[in-house]
Structure 1
Amino acid sequence: MPETMKSGLEIRLVEALQPVRYFVLAQVLHQFMETGLHKELDAGPRTVEELSESLSLQPRRLVGVLHYLANEGYLSENDGAFSLEERARETAVFSSWYKLLVGGYSQTFEQLGRTLQEGAGFASRSGLDVGVGSCGISQYDAYPVIVDLLGAVRDEIESVVDLGCGDGGSLADLMELLPGLSAIGVDPEPASVRAGEELMRRRGLDQRVRLRVAGAENAPELDLGPGPVCFISAFVLQELLEQQGREAVVGLVREVFTHHPDAHWVVIEVDNRIADRAAMAHRLALSYYNPYFLVHYLTEQRLERDAFWHELFTEAGAEVAQQLTADPRVDSTGFLLGYRLRLSPGGAR
């Protein structure tokens, strides 16, 4: 075979293997952070022996991981000691995205073929990793929107109910930002609630914040105490929508405002733009939202468009008093939907 033909084939092969390369790289980087290796090396250069001893890892297997990351440009080696390169430090800043998509949804993608089959159920996911990753990402996009929406009514409320609080990270931050408020956090994942309770104790918030294992549909049953309340549901109604149907979401919104006509409700969702080719050409849309949208077709979650949520809230007797999206310096796609709901005039009482 002529050399030019072999060269052309090799170039095509390299290009075809890029998705495989990045598939492995994403997995390795996630575990590099999860095992504590990144944290150890962030403190300074370490040899294989030092890392193995401090983290109780098998040296021979660890050698392969470290050299792999050095070949990808994430580590450097000098006299047998490995150090972090800047791109590795930068990756750790965005570890929550890895926690969500790699830790939370790796098993989901493995099940894609089976899930597509006629009559198949939904793919599974790691609820704990999804919750922790989502809370971490929210610090950059959803949390500032929640703060701004709450800020408009801060003087009108005495307590907060976080429906789907995950590991409690965002709720803890909110309570520290808004002293004087009490809070209830609920989440269907027991491991997330246990992690949240420990977090509240560490941060001295356990007297102000109560956590319990429950779903968003249990909101009307919660013992909230006296005073106006603001409900928060970040990426939660999408779960209820897929698992129990549209009428269940309408019924929940209607029932909450029936029981609490003076309440506010902050809702965070994501505008499903996967079929909008122009919008999806955005670099963040391809890097993050494209896989994010896909997993919502495979798991028990259902993303919808902005107009869908407006119609649903109206049917439930609520109105959108305020609507925001993420800070464009963080996310300029405009995909994040932040609503503050009130009981509409003549709504369900």
Structure 2
Amino acid sequence: MPERAHVSTIDTATFEDGLIEAIEPIRQFALATAIFHLFEAGIYDRIDDAPSSVAELASALGHDRAKLQGLLSYLRNEELVTLDDGEVALTRRGRALAKYRAWYTMLIGGYGQTFMAIGDHLGVGSGGAARDIVHVGVGSCGISRHDAFPLTQELIDKMRRKPEVVCDLGCGNGMYLVEFCRYFPGLRAVGIEPSEASCAAARDFIAEAGFSDRIEIVCNSAVEFVADPKATKPDLYVLGFVLHEILGQEGERGVIDFLSKIRAENRGAHVVVIEVSDQIDEAKQMQHGLARAYYNPYYLLHYFTNQKLETHEYWMSVFARSGFEVLARATTSAEVDSTGFELGYLLRA
């Protein structure tokens, strides 16, 4: 159900009441940043295993004790940790954050600098703002475990014959590839990722999971890999949040050329496409709780990072003009994401 519209009390309250309401976003900005660092600095994992003294925690992680104390005191005041006689532990609310860690990795670690650079990139010809591609990839893969990967599984299950070789174009940290290999015994997979740092992270993740013998990581762009006649020819290409990158950087012609190249080079292959439908101007739909909490900032950052989201109708037109038949389409489980904004397509050349 859509949330009720918030009625501001800024104009009718005392100055202090109005101030508290007006600067609440500043509190949330600082809190989101602190939570990201709680995870990223290794603190969360340490105290998730068992409570620790601040002194022991600082020594184990190589942190300045006074600065660590300040961060933990702040988090105590936000009721995420407890501090009793110098011992720090997670609260129930703090423990509940673990399953949502990937959203902080992507939106704060990956795109935090993007949000801060918006003002510098409003001007004509100012180009795209920077992002941390490794954190974007790792965070995106973590989020996908809950939404995009189950969606991909649902679409693959509609194929008449299960794939033997899968190629993930834009594989991030390799999570998709590991999940594929777990889901399909005997499957071989190849991941394509343009960032060498992301490739290194993917190889480490895959090795830790024990799938290095079944998964290959190639440092290359999706466009160049598909155009390489010597490249692996899979049964299934997976394009998770890839087409909107190509659209933003090379335009519609670039997307159609890319898909057409897949069709020409591997006519028997299937393609799974996962994209987010652009709903930023749909005022009613954007009042949904998850639309406001996640998709609104997600839509915003795409205007400043040379990425271009589009609608379902647009993608259906592009698939047809690229020579693909849409065999099936689906959206996320309502238990995870009831907006219906994330879309999945199973294509066949």
TM range (shorter): over 0.9
Aligned to 1:221: 228
C-alpha displacement of 1:157: 2.8
Aligned to 2:54: 48
Aligned to 1:331: 337
Match of 1:141 among 126, 139, 147: 147
C-alpha displacement of 1:223: 3.9
C-alpha displacement of 1:224: 5.2
Aligned to 2:42: 36
Q: 2:332, 2:340 within 8 Å by CA — same for their partners in 1?
A: yes
In the alignment, structure 1 segments of 5+ residues that lack a partner are 1-6, 344-349
Cα 1:234–1:339 shift into 2, 3 Å: same
> 1:177-216 deviations in whole A, cap 9, x for unaligned?
1112211110111111111112222223222211111111
Aligned to 2:216: 210
Amino acid at match of 2:228: E
Q: Is residue 168 of structure 1 aligned with residue 174 of structure 2? A: yes
**Using the alignment, how far apart are the partners of 1:130 and 1:247 within structure 2?**
26
Match of 1:339, SS state, is strand
Q: 2:72, 2:81 within 8 Å by CA — same for their partners in 1?
A: yes
Amino acid at match of 1:47: S
Aligned to 1:129: 135
Q: Is residue 256 of structure 1 aligned with residue 262 of structure 2? A: yes
Cα 1:301–1:337 shift into 2, 3 Å: same
1:276-315 map, 5 Å: 276-315=282-321
Aligned to 2:32: 26
TM-score scaled by length of structure 2: 0.93
**Using the alignment, how far apart are the partners of 1:77 and 1:204 within structure 2?**
39
Match of 1:155, SS state, is coil
**Using the alignment, how far apart are the partners of 2:159 and 2:113 within structure 1?**
41
Q: Is residue 195 of structure 1 aligned with residue 201 of structure 2? A: yes
Percent identity reads 39
Q: Is residue 177 of structure 1 aligned with residue 183 of structure 2? A: yes
Q: Which is worse superposed, 331-340 or 248-257?
A: 248-257
Aligned to 2:21: 15
**Using the alignment, how far apart are the partners of 1:225 and 1:27 within structure 2?**
41
C-alpha displacement of 1:156: 4.7
**Using the alignment, how far apart are the partners of 1:154 and 1:190 within structure 2?**
36
Aligned to 2:120: 114
**Using the alignment, how far apart are the partners of 1:13 and 1:323 within structure 2?**
47
Q: 2:324, 2:347 within 8 Å by CA — same for their partners in 1?
A: yes
**Using the alignment, how far apart are the partners of 2:133 and 2:89 within structure 1?**
33
> 1:246-299 deviations in whole A, cap 9, x for unaligned?
111101111211121111000000001011011110000100000001001110
Cα 1:101–1:329 shift into 2, 3 Å: same
TM-score scaled by length of structure 1: 0.93
Match of 1:262, SS state, is coil
Matched residues, number = 337
C-alpha displacement of 1:128: 0.4
**Using the alignment, how far apart are the partners of 1:38 and 1:204 within structure 2?**
25
